C-alpha cells in the first residue's frame, strides 16, 4: 500500500466509525425481529388436524391415531405408512388435496384448482397455531387442539 | 471526497427503501370501519382498516354486573355439534366439575342443546321433506299450513325485523338465492352467461316483496297463511317461498341462551358457525376478547378487537359463500331492492346486543342498505346495540 493510500485511509477513519454504527443498528434490528418472532411464537407441536368444508367438519386425525371421517362422494382418503392424502371435492367441481405427513407431523395443501391457488402457498402446518384456508372452496385445515380456556374468540 | 460518495450512496439506498415503502403503502387497498361503539372500547388491529366514521345515538341500558363467584376450581367442558344448518356449532361451559353430579349435569345440558338444535334445524330446513318450511314452500298460494311453535316464533321475528328494517331484511328472496347458486343444491355460476337474467330476477324480487302479507296465527295451534300473490316465470306459476337461513342460527343462539339459564350455567359461550354467538362470562376475567375476522383476509386475520361478556352477537359478510365473475363479487346476501347479491360497498356488518335472531337478520339488512342508509338507520333505530360495519 502506498503512503498516499495509507494517508487516505487515515483520513477516512471518522467515516469508518459511522459505517460501524449503521452496521450495528442493522444488526440490532435483525436481532430484535428474530427475538420477537421466535419468543412470541407458540411452538407447541401439531398434535393433529381437522378439515372443514364451509365450516362443517368433514375429517379429523390425531397423529398416532385413526383418521375420523364419513365416507362420501365429497371426500376421498388414501392412507399409507408415510402419510394420508385427503381429497376434498367442493361445489362447482372444486378440488383440494391435503397431505398429512405422519412421521414429520406436518400438514400441507398439495393441490387445489381454485382461482389464485393461495392455499397451496400457505406454509406447511407444524405447530398448533398454523392453519391453511382455501377461501374460494371454503376449505379450512385447523390444528386439532383448541384451548377451551382461552378468552379469545373469533367471529366472521 | 470518498466519504461524501459513501454518504450519497447511503442516502440513495435510504431513498429507494423509503420510496418502495411509500409506493407499496399507496397501492395497498384500505377499508373503512363505521361504528357506534364509543372510542376506547374497541381497537382496530389491522392497518388496512381505518375508522371511516363514528355513528351517534348509542345509549345502552345499564347492565347489571354479574354476581361474584368463586371460580378457582373451574375448568372447561365442550361439545361440538357438526352439521347443524350446514355448519358447526361449539358449546363451551366453565364450571366446577369436581362437584358431585357436575359431569352428569353437563352431559344432560349438552344433550338438551343438541336436541334443540336438531328441532330448529329440522323445522326451518327447506330441503327436509315435511319440515315446516318445506310444507310452507310447497303449499299453494293462499293456503294455510300448520307449523311448530319454533317455526312460528322464527317467522314472527322475521316479520318484525322485515317491518323494522323497512323491508331491507327479506327472507322471501328464496328464488333469488337459488338463481345465484347459493342454495345447497345449486352450483355457483362459472360465467356471466350462467347468471339469471334481469327480467327473471325482477319477477322473483316482486314475489318476495309480498312477504309482509304472510299471516301468522296461534289460535289452537300454530299456523301460517301464504300470500295469494304469484308470478309466472318460464311458464311456471311461482308462489312465495322463504329461506330462514339469515335468522335461524341467531334464533338457535337465543334458545341455547335459555338453556344456559335453565341449567344454571353462567360461564362459557356458544359459537354457531362463527356467525352467531352467545358470549357469557369467562371464568378468569369475565370478559371475552372477540376478534372480528377481516372480510378481505385470505388468512382470516382480525381487523377489530373488543372485550365484553353477557351479550349475543351476529355477523354477516360478503366473504363467505361468494364467487367472482368478470371482477364482480357475488355473495349470498341478496339486496331486496335489486334482487341481486349486494353491491352496496358494505363488506360486513356485526351487531352486538339484543336477541341474536334479530341481530342475525339486522346484519343482513345493514349490508343491503349501503353506507348512508345504514348510518341513519343505526343512529335512529339501533341505539341500544353496538354495531360495526366495514365498507370498501
Please provide the DSSP assignment of A18-67 as one string: HHHHHHHHHHHHHHHHHHHHHHSS--PBP-EEEEEETTEEEEEEETTS--
Q: Which of B94, B317, B321 has its CB closest to that of A156?
A: B317
B353 touches chain A (CB under 8 A): no
C-alpha cell at B298: 385470505
ipTM of the complex: 0.85
- Best mutation target among A15, A130, A142, A156 (most B Cβ atoms within 10 Å) is A156
Q: Quick one: pLDDT at residue B280?
A: 97
The tens digit of pLDDT for each residue in B325-381 reads 988 889 999 999 999 999 999 999 999 999 999 999 999 999 999 999 999 999 999
CB contacts, 8 Å: A118 with chain B: 298
Q: Quick one: pLDDT at residue B289?
A: 96
C-alpha cell at A75: 371426500
If 0-12 CB within 10 Å is exposed, 13-18 middle and 19+ buried, where does residue A77 land? Answer: middle
Same domain? For A33 and A90 the reply is no
Q: Quick one: pLDDT at residue B353?
A: 96
Phi, psi at residue B88, to the nearest 5°? -115, 145
Indicate the number of domains in chain A.
2
The tens digit of pLDDT for each residue in B206-217 reads 999 999 999 999
Phi, psi at residue B207, to the nearest 5°? -60, -45
Q: What percent of chain B is predicted at pLDDT more than 70?
A: 93
CB contacts, 8 Å: B87 with chain A: 54-56
Please name the residue of chain A whose CA is at the shortest distance from the CA of residue B314: A155
Same domain? For A61 and A9 the reply is no
CA-wise closest residue to A141 among A73, A82, A84, A92: A84
Of residues B181 and B25, more confidently modeled: B181
Same domain? For A61 and A119 the reply is yes
* Mean pLDDT (chain B, rounded): 91
Report CB contact under 8 Å: B287, A92. Answer: no
B295 touches chain A (CB under 8 A): yes
Please compute the mean of the pLDDT values over residues B6-16 and round it to a whole number: 62
B28 touches chain A (CB under 8 A): no
Same domain? For A57 and A15 the reply is no
Q: Domain locations in chain B?
A: 29-59+287-392, 132-242
Distances (CA, A) of B356 to B5, B248, B278, B282, B334: 67, 9, 8, 19, 20
Same domain? For A61 and A128 the reply is yes
Is A156 part of a structural domain of the chain?
Answer: no
Is A72 part of a structural domain of the chain?
Answer: yes
Q: Provide the CATH topology of domain B29-59+287-392.
A: T-fold (3.10.520)
- Best mutation target among B88, B194, B270 (most A Cβ atoms within 10 Å) is B88
* Number of other residues whose CB lies within 10 A of the CB of residue A139: 25
Report CB contact under 8 Å: A156, B295. Answer: yes
Same domain? For A132 and A96 the reply is yes
Which of A106-115, B54-63, B103-112, B128-137 shows the lowest mean pLDDT across its residues? B54-63
Report CB contact under 8 Å: B190, A92. Answer: yes
Class of domain B132-242: mainly alpha
The DSSP H or E segment spanning A134 is strand A132-134
Report CB contact under 8 Å: B75, A149. Answer: yes
Distances (CA, A) of B100 to A146, B96, B105, B266: 27, 9, 9, 18
Q: Quick one: pLDDT at residue B52?
A: 94
DSSP state of B309: -
Q: B291 to chain A nearest CA, in Å?
A: 5
Q: Quick one: pLDDT at residue B258?
A: 98
Q: What percent of chain B is predicted at pLDDT more than 90?
A: 76
* Residue ranges making up the domain that contains A63: 48-143
Is A152 part of a structural domain of the chain?
Answer: no
Decide whether B29-59+287-392 matches B132-242 in CATH topology.
no
The tens digit of pLDDT for each residue in B16-46 reads 555 555 444 455 689 999 999 999 999 999 9
Distance CA B210, CA B232 (A): 15
Binned at pLDDT 50, 70 and 90, residue B61 comes out as confident
Q: Quick one: pLDDT at residue A11?
A: 67
Per-residue pLDDT of chain A (156 residues; tens, 9 = 90+): 577 777 776 666 655 778 888 888 899 988 888 777 655 555 578 888 999 887 777 888 888 777 888 777 888 999 888 899 999 998 888 999 999 999 899 999 999 999 888 899 999 999 877 899 998 898 999 888 667 888 999 998
CB contacts, 8 Å: A55 with chain B: 86-88, 273-274
Domain of A68: which CATH number? 2.60.320.10
Q: Taking the CA atoms of A136, A137, A140 and A141 in sequence, report the sign of the dihedral they define.
A: negative
Window B:68-87, CB contacts with A under 8 Å: 75-78, 80, 82-83, 86-87
Q: A58 to chain B nearest CA, in Å?
A: 9
Distance CA B322, CA B224 (A): 32
pLDDT at B7 over 90: no
A62 touches chain B (CB under 8 A): no
Q: Which of A14, A131, A156 has its CB closest to that of B292?
A: A156
Q: B210 to chain A nearest CA, in Å?
A: 31
Same domain? For A52 and A102 the reply is yes
pLDDT at B110 over 90: yes
Same domain? For A54 and A74 the reply is yes
Please name the residue of chain A whose CA is at the shortest distance from the CA of residue B87: A56
Same domain? For A89 and A120 the reply is yes
Same domain? For A64 and A130 the reply is yes
In this prediction the pTM is 0.74
Same domain? For A84 and A106 the reply is yes
Report CB contact under 8 Å: B289, A52. Answer: no
Amino acid at each position: 500500500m502506498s503512503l498516499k493510500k495509507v494517508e487516505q485511509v487515515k483520513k477516512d477513519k471518522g467515516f469508518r466509525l459511522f459505517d460501524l454504527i449503521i452496521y450495528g443498528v442493522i444488526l440490532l434490528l435483525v436481532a430484535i425481529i428474530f427475538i420477537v418472532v421466535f419468543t412470541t411464537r407458540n411452538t407447541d407441536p401439531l398434535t393433529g388436524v381437522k378439515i372443514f368444508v364451509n365450516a362443517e367438519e368433514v375429517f379429523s386425525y390425531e397423529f398416532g391415531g385413526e383418521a375420523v371421517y364419513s365416507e362420501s362422494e365429497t371426500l376421498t382418503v388414501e392412507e399409507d405408512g408415510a402419510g394420508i392424502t385427503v381429497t376434498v371435492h367442493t361445489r362447482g367441481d372444486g378440488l383440494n388435496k391435503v397431505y398429512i405427513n405422519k412421521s414429520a407431523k406436518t400438514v400441507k395443501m398439495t393441490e387445489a384448482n381454485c382461482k389464485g391457488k393461495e392455499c397451496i402457498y400457505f406454509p406447511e402446518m407444524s405447530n398448533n397455531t398454523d392453519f391453511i384456508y382455501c377461501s374460494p372452496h371454503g376449505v379450512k385445515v385447523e390444528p386439532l387442539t383448541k384451548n377451551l380456556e382461552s378468552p379469545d374468540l373469533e367471529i366472521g | 471526497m470518498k466519504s461524501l460518495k459513501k454518504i450519497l450512496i447511503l442516502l440513495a439506498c435510504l431513498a429507494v427503501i423509503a420510496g418502495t415503502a411509500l409506493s407499496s403503502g399507496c397501492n395497498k387497498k384500505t377499508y373503512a370501519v363505521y361504528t357506534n361503539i364509543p372510542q376506547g372500547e374497541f381497537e382496530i388491529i389491522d392497518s388496512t382498516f381505518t375508522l371511516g366514521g363514528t355513528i351517534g345515538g348509542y345509549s345502552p341500558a345499564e347492565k347489571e354486573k354479574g354476581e361474584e363467584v368463586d371460580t378457582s376450581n373451574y375448568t372447561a367442558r365442550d361439545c361440538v355439534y357438526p352439521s347443524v344448518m350446514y355448519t358447526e356449532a361449539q358449546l363451551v361451559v366453565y364450571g366446577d366439575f369436581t362437584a358431585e353430579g357436575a359431569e352428569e349435569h353437563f352431559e344432560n345440558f349438552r344433550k338438551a342443546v343438541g336436541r334443540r338444535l336438531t328441532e330448529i334445524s329440522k323445522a326451518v330446513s327447506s330441503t327436509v321433506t315435511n319440515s315446516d318450511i318445506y310444507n310452507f314452500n310447497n303449499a299453494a298460494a293462499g293456503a294455510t299450513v300448520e307449523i311448530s311453535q319454533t317455526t312460528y316464533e322464527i317467522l314472527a321475528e322475521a316479520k318484525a325485523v322485515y317491518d323494522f328494517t323497512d323491508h331491507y331484511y327479506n327472507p322471501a328472496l328464496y328464488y333469488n338465492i337459488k338463481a345465484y347458486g347459493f342454495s345447497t343444491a345449486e352450483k355457483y355460476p362459472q360465467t356471466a352467461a350462467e347468471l339469471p337474467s334481469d327480467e327473471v330476477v325482477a319477477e322473483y324480487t316482486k314475489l318476495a316483496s309480498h312477504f309482509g302479507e304472510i299471516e301468522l296465527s296461534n289460535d289452537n295451534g300454530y299456523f301460517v297463511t301464504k300470500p295469494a300473490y304469484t308470478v309466472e316465470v318460464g311458464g311456471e306459476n311461482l308462489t312465495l317461498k322463504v329461506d330462514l337461513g339469515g335468522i335461524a342460527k341467531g334464533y338457535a343462539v337465543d334458545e341455547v341462551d335459555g338453556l344456559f339459564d335453565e341449567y344454571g350455567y353462567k360461564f362459557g359461550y356458544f359459537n354457531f358457525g362463527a356467525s352467531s354467538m352467545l358470549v357469557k362470562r369467562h371464568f378468569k376475567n369475565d370478559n371475552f376478547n372477540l376478534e372480528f375476522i377481516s372480510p378481505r383476509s385470505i388468512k382470516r386475520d382480525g381487523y377489530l378487537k373488543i372485550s365484553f361478556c353477557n351479550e349475543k352477537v351476529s355477523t354477516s359478510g360478503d366473504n363467505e359463500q361468494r364467487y367472482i365473475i368478470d371482477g364482480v363479487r357475488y355473495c349470498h346476501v341478496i339486496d331486496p331492492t335489486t334482487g341481486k347479491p349486494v353491491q352496496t360497498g358494505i363488506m360486513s356488518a356485526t351487531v352486538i346486543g339484543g336477541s341474536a335472531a334479530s341481530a342475525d337478520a339486522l346484519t343482513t339488512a345493514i349490508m343491503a342498505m349501503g353506507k348512508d342508509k345504514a348510518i341513519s338507520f343505526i343512529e335512529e333505530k339501533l341505539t341500544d346495540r353496538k354495531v360495526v360495519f366495514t365498507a370498501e
